Structures are given as structure tokens and as C-alpha cells.
A and B are shown apart, each in its own frame.
Chain A
Amino acid sequence: MSKTMDMEEMLQKIKDRQWALADIDWDAPGAELITDEMRPRLKAFMADLCWIENVGARGFAAMAKKAPNDTIAEIYRYFHAEEQRHANAELALLKRWGMLEDGEIPEPNVNIRLAIEWLDKYADDMSLSVLGTVIPMLEVALDGALLKFLLDEVNDPICHAVFEKINNDESRHIAVDFAVLDMLGHAKARKLAIEFVSGVASPGLIIGALMYIPLLNRVRNEVVDMGLQPERLYVAMGRFKKLGDRGEATHRVPLYQVLKWHAAMVINPKHPYHLLANTMVTLSDHYPKFLLRPIPTWFKELTYEPVSSTVSKPGARKDAA
């Protein structure tokens, strides 16, 4: 990933590598390898994973409007759809494992609900430099990274096949993410400073941080609950720094420095940061449900059905609120 990434070529590659739920044999043997004791935690984890994809999807939707040129806008349009694709595929796995009733879509947890609200309210107004820094962090730390943990636990070959496809998509996401981040770093210092001050001082970003911190820790806790090493998550977050520092100008993006600093705290389990973050998780559990706004319709477009033959309006499904 360098600033000279040929975006036209990347777009072509993306178009050439499309896949669909229908490519996968969801009834193939292997589902029985999921043990009963794994089920409840696996379901919770997968459900979160699937919603996190959707959060990333919404982020790319916002990016598409900010893209510096038509090609990158088109790439983001695809990435938006691909995150939806990941979510759909993860739902299809849940369905395959018998963890979903017919038509059931798992409920997002409160942190995700809050993240969604934030995205819907603020993401479209964020500048490219803010979105372009936050999204790569989301991608390395949550999207893509998390599903790798599962592969140690879950032996279902279909799960492995699906995650391989998702991983291939994600490697393209991350390559573009960091190429754009580096592009942002090449902007004039003055512009960087102005955008940082106006972006970071905005209530949108502050509230965003308040959403992100507990979300990350909730996921961390879930990872631990599943008997996995939280270090795996930290390694993923460490990649943010590794990939970012490889860029020629990335270090000049002020928000990048902030996120790097934040990541350093997260990956240090002894850091007092976790006291704060975990308190926020607990607090958010008590967030009054009635304050949550209805789930936006885009959030209900998820499906585990490989084929759609008619029109089903998301509004027609019962509101999860």
C-alpha cells in the first residue's frame, strides 16, 4: 500500500472478485461440528460481528459521498455493499448452525445501537479526513480481525470457506483504507490542522468516541468470554500502527496520532483506561431503551437468503426497538 496505488486497477480487481451467497453450499456437512456448549456464546459473538459489519457498511456509505474522485467513490460504493455482504454471510452461517428462527435477525446490543444512531446522525457530516482515519481503525480492530479468532474455535469447513472470501475482501479494504489515509497525510499542514480542530472539536466526533470506547471493550470482553486471548485483539489493533507507519505521510494526519495513542492504551491490559472503558460498557447496559431512536431502515436490509425473488419492504418487518 503506497500513495501510488492505482485506484482504477483496484476498482477493476474489486469488480472481478465479487461473490454471492449462492456460491456457497449452505447445507454441506460440517454444521454438526458446532458443540452445544459453544452455541450461546458463538451466537452472541456472531451477532455482534454481523452488526459490526453493518456499522462499517454505513461508514463506507458516508465515505462514498466524500471521496476525492469518482473512482474512489465507486470503490467505497462497493465496499459499502461488501460489508453488507459479510453481514449477510455471517447471518447465513448463524442460520446454517440452527441459531436463527425463520426470518429472525439477531438483535444488536446497546453499544451497537448507539453506534448506529451516531452514524446515522453524524457520519454524513464528518470530513473525509476524520472518516478516513476512523474507518481504517474500525477495520483492523473489529471488522475482519474478529472473525479470524473464530477459525481456531470453529471447525466447520463452510465457516472457513466463507471467512476466506471475507478475508480476501478485507485485505482490499485495508489496502485502500491505508492508501487513502496516506493520501490525506499529503495534504497541506494547514489544512490538516484546520480539519483536525474542526473535526475533533465537533460534538459529533466526541460523541462518536463515547460510542466507540465501550463498543470496543464490549467486544474485547466477549472475546475473553469465548475463551480466546484478548491479545489477539490487541495484535489486530497493533496492525493499525504498523500499517499506518508504513505510509509515507500518514503520520502527518493528527487524528491518526490520536487513534494510535488510544490503541496503545487499549492493548495495555493494565492501563487504567480499561477501568473507564468497562465502566462505560456497564453504563451503556443501563442506557434507557426508550431513548433509543427506532432502528433506521438501512439497518434492516440484512438477509441470510441467497436468493430474493420478490420485494420485501424492510418497514414491513417488526421493529427491533
Chain B
Amino acid sequence: MSTATTEKRPRTKKPRKTHSTLIIGAGFTGLGTAIKLREAGVEDVVILERADRVGGTWRDNTYPGAACDIPSLLYSFSFAKNPNWSRAYSPADEICAHIEDITDDFDLRQLIQFDTEVTALDYDRHEGTWTASTAGGQQYRARTVVLASGPLSNASFPNIRGIESYEGKKILSAQWDHDYDLTGKNVAVIGTGATAIQIIPEVVKKAASVKVFQRTPGWVMPRLDMPTPKVAQAVFAKVPAVQQAARNALFLSHEVAATGLVWDTPVTSLIERIGAAHLRLTVKDPWLRRQLTPEFRAGCKRMLMSSDYYPALQKDNCKLITWPIATIVPQGLRTADAVEHHVDAIIFATGYDVQLGGPPYPITGAAGRVLQEEWAGHAQAYKSASTHGYPNLFFTAGPNSGPGHNSLLVYVQGQISYAVAGIRTILDKDLVSLDVRPDVQAKHNESMQKRLKRTTWMSGCTSWYLTKDGFNGAMYPGFATQYLRQMQNFRADDYEMVSHGARRLWNVPAAEAV
């Protein structure tokens, strides 16, 4: 089995039994999958989570200002609603508490193995099972696996010249150090993306000075955040249908926005005009406006939602710096205009380790091939969920599943129902393996790439959606409605199936029966 990766570990403990399903990760997606699997009668489920708590993104991202930028009513599962959201866009701790509540409400805690980091996954083609190796040595085996370890769950300091020489406090947005007090400090913030625009307004309130180092400005739309009226909370609690109706309305409005954010259309220009008006109305100085004006089509990179970012930049103690960073030095950083900026702390809001080539732990499939090597060029899957050569394995947030600007959880719900349908098929038909047909997968990807051509993501900007050579294996080129229809339709015909029964009958090993 997984020799290469497990040899280093002191004591490998063999799996005790073969479970029906292993889920990797206890964030929204992993927990949602467990809920739906049990609803479908799959009880023998184990969730492996490297942290000591549930929550994923919302447990890890505790930086000041952390909140969702899709309205909470839509940024939640339709099957696990929360009538009590305090605001239109809930803060991270509230979302995390909601995830804890789901865990208890659906009695999931007993399924979770905490402090268990998966380090490798290996497929056994004879048994048709997957074995997960973990950092602690314990192995787990199951007939099926759902990967829910998160699209943005890893972050690290960026590779900026001189970073190792810095003597002040380095803060990574995704691993915020709450023991460090920013009050009265001179602070640098590197980055002006979705995370930075949430952090900056908060830091400006406390720090003596804040210098914001920008490379590329993004489109910023006003975010109309407000407390949820008490009446609404009460109605949502009593009449869930009303909350569902509000959710539907939000869903529709995001679908309408997709006509401009997914495809390059006149609506895109309209959205840009709104962004430009937002800028004009809130930023006085023409040069600052110029510095903040994006040079790419709206939607090409992630849209930024904030009504307090532009005002924060214009506070007396805050300054936007657009000179390139030449190097980091012991006391701060130098910009290419020859000035050295001395700061007490540098906040790195420089993004996440995006997993365009698959999760960071090796996944070895049927023919002994490693997924990450296969995907090093371009990631490919069928309906974002299955990829040939890796039977009985289901991706979430897989290739070409990214929403343009919609709730990821809406898409995840589709992925969950697809995985559940696949897993039910394996169990019901008593399959050794369920492997997507390569021709079906190839056809699907051809159509994906064709449809992607007219999207804003391919309109010429560089973004973390694209590989270095400009391939888009990340985003789904369509409406959420289309995506959900695709995911609700699990077709067994698209797969090569080998059943235990058939194998016994013909007495051939699984791999050869394919």
C-alpha cells in the first residue's frame, strides 16, 4: 500500500475495519455530506479532521473583520438553515458557531476523528477500497471517499524577497495572532483582495498608521450590511417557508448578476459602471481613484464587496501605496521609489495556497498513478466530482465547479447530492469500483473549455482561477441552476462498474474486468 509516505512515520497502525465512507474535512462541506449520507441510509461514515474542532474556513479565519461576502441567507445549506443570523453578512465567529450547532443538531460529533490529518490516500484495486494514512499513524479504510478538505484551507507566507530578514511581527491573515495588540502600532498590510479589504477597516481603527501595499486593484461593490430585524428573525424561526422564499430571491438575484460576472456581456459593463460610481462617490482624490481603478473586466477576478474599505483608505492614518515592493528588510519594507517603510508589523493578506492541481496530500489511484502528477498540467474531472482512474472517490470544490459570484455552498449542495447518489450506487449494487468512463470525461471537459471561452475569467486578466499557462480548470461556466441540474443528474451509464457479484461469477480480478 502507501509505502513511500508511510515509511517515514514511526508506527503505522493498520485500519481496524472497512467503513462505507470516509469524509476528509469537517467544514461546511464535510458535515453537509455526512448529514445527507445518513439521510440516504449510509450510517457507517467517518470524518477525519486535522483540527480539534469543526468549522474549517470559519474556525481558521479569525482576522478582524472576517465575514462572509455573500448574504448569510444564501451562504448556508438549505437543509440546515439558521433563522438567527444577526446580520445580512455574518461575521466569522457566528458562522463558526452555526457550524458547531449543525454538528450537534445532526448528531455528527460521534463520526468525527479530530486531530487526524490525512497525509495520503491509496486505492486498492483488488478490494476496491481506499486507505487514508494520517499524520498520527492510524490508517482508515473505506469503500468510498469524499474529499472535503477545503478549496482554501491552506495558507502560507508569500515568497517576497527578504521576508526572512524581517524582525518585526509577521501576521498571516488566515492564522491571526490574537495575542498581538495592534493598538498604536505602525502597520503594513500587503494585499488588497477579499481578505485585505475586510481587515483594513478594522486595523485602521486601532493602529497608529496603516500602509496598504497594493499590486492590482479589484472591483469593489458596495456591501449593504445591516442587522437582521428582530421581526425577520422571529418570522424565519416560526415560518421556515418565508426564509426559504428570501433565500430563493437572493439566489435569483445572484443568477441575474451571473449574466454579467460569468460571461463578458453588456451587463459586465453595467456592473463596472456601478463599481466606478461607487469609487467616484466615495473617493475624492482623482489620483487615488486612478490607483484604485481596476484594469480588468468585472468578474475576471473575485469581486470585492465592501462599503467601508474606500473610506478606511482615506482616513488620516491610512495610506495606499502602489509602488512595487522591492524587498522586505529587517525593519520593514522598501518600495521601488527608494523609500524604506519602517513598521512594527506586517499583515500578509496575500491569499491562499490554491489547489488547482488537487489537494496537497498524494492520492494514488487504480493504476498506481498519482492524481497530483496527472493534474500538474491541467486538472480534469467529470461534473467536477469524479475523475477517471480514481474510482469510488468524490471531489467537492473539484475542477470547474467554482461559482463566479454566488454562494459556494449552493454549489456544494449539488456536489453533495451527486456524491451521495454515487455512493448509494456503489453500496446498492455492491460494486467493487465505480469509475467514470474516460470518453465521457473527455467530452465533458471539451464542452467545459468551449463554454469557458466567452467568460469574464478568460477576458485577459491573471487570477488564481487560472494556471500559469492560462488554463481554467477552476470555474464553472454557467448559471448555478445549470450546475445544480448537472449535479442532480447522476447517470450510472457514465461509469464503468465492476460488481462483487460479477467478479465472483466470472472469477476475474477487479482491475482486469474493467
Contact = CB atoms under 8 A, between A and B. Distances in A.
B338 A311 contact: no
B329 to A, nearest CB: 8
Interface in B288-309: 288, 290, 295
A316 B316 CA distance: 9
A153 interface: no
Interface stretch (B203-211, B360-368, B423-431): B203-211
Interface residues of A, number: 35
A22 B285 contact: no
B337 A297 contact: no
A154 interface: no
B86 interface: no
Nearest to B334: A20
Contacts of A19: 338
A320 interface: no
Interface string B318-357: 1100011011000000111111111100000000000000
B462 interface: yes
A296 B286 contact: yes
Contacts of B287: 296-298
A305 B336 CA distance: 14
Chain B's interface size range is 20 to 34
B342 A81 contact: no
Given A19-B338, A21-B340, A85-B337, A310 B208 contact: yes
> Which of B286, B317, B334: most chain A Cβ within 10 A?
B334
A18 B334 contact: yes
A306 B318 contact: no
A127 to B, nearest CB: 16
Nearest to B212: A311
B273 to A, nearest CB: 18
B338 A85 contact: yes
A70 B404 CA distance: 23
A81 B334 contact: no
A310 B209 contact: yes
Contacts of A77: 324
Given A21-B338, A85-B338, A88-B339, A310 B186 contact: yes
Nearest to B316: A313
Nearest to B161: A15
Give the interface SS of chain B, mostly helix, strand, loop or mixed: mixed
B340 A306 contact: yes
A84 interface: yes
Nearest to B295: A65
A48 B376 CA distance: 54
Contacts of B318: 311
A196 B172 CA distance: 50
A256 interface: no
B295 A297 contact: no
A88 B211 contact: no
A88 B288 CA distance: 20
A316 B323 CA distance: 20
Given A18-B326, A84-B323, A297 B340 contact: no
Interface string B455-486: 00000001000000000000000000000000
B192 to A, nearest CB: 15
Nearest to B288: A297
Interface string A297-321: 1100101011111111101100000
A186 to B, nearest CB: 21
A306 B186 contact: no
Given A20-B326, A297-B287, A311-B210, A81 B316 contact: no
Interface of A: 15, 18-22, 65, 70, 74, 77-78, 81-82, 84-85, 88-89, 120, 124, 296-298, 301, 303, 305-313, 315-316
Given A309-B209, A309-B342, 18 more contacts: A15-B161, A21-B339, A78-B336, A81-B337, A82-B336, A88-B338, A88-B339, A124-B290, A296-B286, A297-B288, A301-B337, A303-B339, A305-B339, A309-B343, A310-B186, A310-B209, A311-B318, A313-B319
In the A-B complex, list the 9 residue pairs whose CB atoms are closest, starting with the nearest: A81-B336, A18-B326, A85-B338, A84-B337, A311-B209, A298-B287, A310-B209, A81-B323, A311-B319
11 contacts: A18-B326, A18-B334, A20-B339, A20-B340, A81-B337, A85-B336, A296-B287, A297-B286, A306-B338, A308-B341, A311-B209
